Each structure stands twice: as structure tokens, then as C-alpha cells.
Structure 1
């Protein structure tokens, strides 16, 4: 399921990048972002389960590290989107597309 979620994220990141670069409008952005973000349910739950299945004595600490990485990467992405902001959704879409590609390649 993790690989399926990562593949879906990679597919929808391509759609998201096309939508923001072509200026297809707000509905194209909403739909593609929703589809991309919906893959998070498949990716995160299976990723955490896989990480915690190998660590039995320190599962709480491992869960905390996974949560910190998740929130830290969100903060980094938000900071980069703010840094490259130009009044359009292009920086957000490009950063989300890079994240989707990274997710697929690491899965």
C-alpha cells in the first residue's frame, strides 16, 4: 500500500505541476491538490507502521522521531513556499511536485 500511495502521489504531482504551470484555474488546482494530498493517508500510515514494526523496545521514541520529521518537513516546505512566493500558486505546486517525486523515489 505504501508503494501504491507513493505511485499515486507521483502521478498526481505531475497533474499538479501541469495545472499550476499552465494556469488552468482554481478548480484544477483544488482537484489536483486534493488527489495529491489524499495519498498521504496511504503513505503516512503504512510508513509509520513499517518503521515501528522493527523497533519494539523504543516504539514511542521512534514514533516521536517520525512525527518530528513530518512536522519539520512541513515547516521547511512552508518556508520555501514563502521564500519563493510570487503571488501565484506556482511555487507551492512546484514544491509539492518535488515532494511527490522524492516520496516515490524513496518508497
Structure 2
């Protein structure tokens, strides 16, 4: 194998590793960027004094709530953010949020 092929292989391996790391961190980053300001760093706040504490919800309740907000069947201040979530984002966020429980 020549040097250019080895270099290309090395770049592909490094790129796939960093993409995997980003995918693993995506729910954490989504939460930090879009949710924590209202729900608290650990889901300990009642967003705008209206929402239930995220730490009291099951993973399924979180996913169902995000899906309903995305669809607009539950209306609230965070609907614009939730409207942009993919199904994978919702699943990842629900899985991540339940880890915030202390």
C-alpha cells in the first residue's frame, strides 16, 4: 500500500472516530444548548414555572412530551426548538435526560 492510501485510511479512521464522539455527545449538547436555560442543568427547574420537573418523568414520558410539543399538540415557549428535533434527537434527549436524576 502506498503512502497516500495509508494517509487516506488514517484520515477516514480519525474522521469516523470524531463523528462517533459527536453523535454520542449530541443529546448532551442539545440539552445544554436548548433545554437547560429553562429546565435547569440537571432538569431541576419547572420551566417558566409551568412544566413538571424533568427529573420526575420517565424516559417514555419525556419522549412523548417532546413528540407532542414538536407536533404542536402541547403548546409552550419551547415549541420552536422542539419543532426542529428529529426522531433520533427526541430518543437521544429522552435517554440523556433520565440520566440527570440524582
TM-score of the alignment, normalized to the shorter chain, above 0.5: no
Query: Greater helix share, 1 or 2?
Result: 1
Name the larger-Rg structure: 2
TM-score normalized with structure 1 length: 0.31
TM-score with structure 2 setting the length: 0.32
